[in-house]
Amino acid sequence: MLYRITHVTRYAYQTEVSVAHHLLHLRPREMSWQRVESFDLIVQPEPAVISRRIDYFGNHTHVLTIEGGHRQLEVVAGSRIRIQPPPRVEAGATPPWESVVEGCRQDGWSAAVEAAEFRFDSPFVRRNREVADYARTSFVAGRPLVVAVRELNARIFEDFQFDARATSVATPLEEVFEERRGVCQDFAHLMIACLRSLGLPARYVSGYLETVPPKGQARLVGADASHAWVSVWCPGVGWLDFDPTNNLEPAERHITVAWGRDFGDVSPIRGVLVGSGDHALTVSVDVEPLAHSEPDASAKSVSTQSQSQASW
């Protein structure tokens, strides 16, 4: 699949902002099955400083400094992404889940060093007995890891209701678990909490999902949204993705932007402002599939068109 993705974020501030610093996670990652053919970033008002770096988790980030009074901020990220379906794993051939837990406790298991740090609590995900008990229904003794994770993925999909009005970024995981409703971010945090509470490494993945309009209806521009799902570590295989919001194993319709311990590590835009008071936020994401027959283009080299528009 070849996609053109346009992610537009607009802030309208109640009072004037004199200085703003923003950290962006908007450029998709490069992986063996995902290639970034181009990426453009347009910011208005024009930043005094815009720089790019790789964060601790290997994600692409941009840091902006905007000086001078402004009442609005617009950030437009445009990507052209080529996706191939990631390799499938034979679930029954994966090791028992208990052996993965035990392996992560062994300092000599070098293959799990990177994964092991994702077993612990993070600001948005706290291990607890309730979610561990919920997970154990799927994680019976001796069960292959992927078989157990697939069942947990399906159970969260069946037991929890998607409700865009039920939660906010600040809603505690315990409340989501009790109320049995939320959004993709909540369900990803819940599944990660389940896995970590059993001692398994799990990380949060942010990105996009191509949505399919109902039969006979035209595709709506800007109707897509940022999405979130989960990766779990499997020795000998690596990280495997699961989408509890849709009971899917991400393939060519999921585009990965960043990963970390939880949402706090990969928020698309976060910042520190001088001024503003209250603000209104609007976000629009368009995931547009392009013709399969288009020729493969080489990735663009680093260049800067202006301080407010850059291509990488």
Judgement on whether residues 171 and 274 belong to the same structural domain of the protein:
no
> Which residues, in sequence order, are bridge partners of residue 231?
203, 241
Using the predicted structure, report yes or no on whether residue 272 has a pLDDT greater than 50.
Answer: yes
Range of the domain at 56: 2-83+266-295
pLDDT score of 107: 55
pLDDT score of 104: 79
Residue type, 291: A
pLDDT score of 278: 82
% of residues, the chain, pLDDT over 70: 87
Using the predicted structure, report yes or no on whether residue 303 has a pLDDT greater than 50.
Answer: no
Q: Which two tokens stand for residue 154?
A: 């399906």
- Residue 23 placed within a domain: yes
- Residue 16 placed within a domain: yes
Judgement on whether residues 133 and 18 belong to the same structural domain of the protein:
no
pLDDT score of 222: 54
CATH code of the domain in which 122 resides: 3.10.620.30
In tens, the pLDDT along 9-45 reads: 999 998 999 999 999 999 999 999 999 999 999 999 9
Q: What is the mean pLDDT of the chain?
A: 87
Using the predicted structure, report yes or no on whether residue 47 has a pLDDT greater than 90.
Answer: yes
- Residue 168 placed within a domain: yes
**d(C-alpha 27, C-alpha 258), whole Å:** 8
pLDDT score of 302: 27
> Which residues, in sequence order, are bridge partners of residue 8?
76, 284
Q: 178 CB contacts (<8 Å, ≥6 apart)?
A: none
CATH code of the domain in which 42 resides: 2.60.40.2250
Judgement on whether residues 175 and 40 belong to the same structural domain of the protein:
no
pLDDT score of 296: 42
Judgement on whether residues 259 and 276 belong to the same structural domain of the protein:
no
In tens, the pLDDT along 146-191 reads: 999 999 999 999 999 999 888 888 899 999 999 999 999 999 999 9
- Check residue 119 and report its DSSP letter: G
| Distances 86 to 37, 150, 154, 308 between C-alpha atoms, Å | 18, 17, 20, 35
Using the predicted structure, report yes or no on whether residue 57 has a pLDDT greater than 50.
Answer: yes
Using the predicted structure, report yes or no on whether residue 247 has a pLDDT greater than 80.
Answer: yes
pLDDT score of 108: 52
Judgement on whether residues 45 and 114 belong to the same structural domain of the protein:
no
- Residue 311 placed within a domain: no
Judgement on whether residues 258 and 272 belong to the same structural domain of the protein:
no
Judgement on whether residues 172 and 116 belong to the same structural domain of the protein:
yes
Residue 193 phi, psi dihedral angles, 5° rounding: -60, -40
pLDDT score of 223: 60
**Which residues in 254-279 are b (16+ Cβ under 10 Å) and which e?**
bbbbbbbbbbebbbbbebebeebeee
Torsion of CA 48, 20, 172, 29, to 10 degrees: 0
- Residue 302 placed within a domain: no
Using the predicted structure, report yes or no on whether residue 310 has a pLDDT greater than 50.
Answer: no
- Residue 312 placed within a domain: no
- Residue 201 placed within a domain: yes
- Residue 224 placed within a domain: yes
Judgement on whether residues 68 and 123 belong to the same structural domain of the protein:
no
pLDDT score of 212: 76
pLDDT score of 109: 53
Judgement on whether residues 181 and 258 belong to the same structural domain of the protein:
yes
Judgement on whether residues 205 and 164 belong to the same structural domain of the protein:
yes
Instruction: Identify whether the C-beta of residue 241 lies closer than 8 Å to the C-beta of residue 206.
Output: no
Say how many domains are in the chain.
Answer: 2
Q: Are strands 2-24 and 60-83 parallel, antiparallel or unpaired?
A: antiparallel
Judgement on whether residues 132 and 163 belong to the same structural domain of the protein:
yes
Q: Quote the distance between the C-alpha of residue 293 and its chain's center.
A: 29
Judgement on whether residues 281 and 249 belong to the same structural domain of the protein:
no
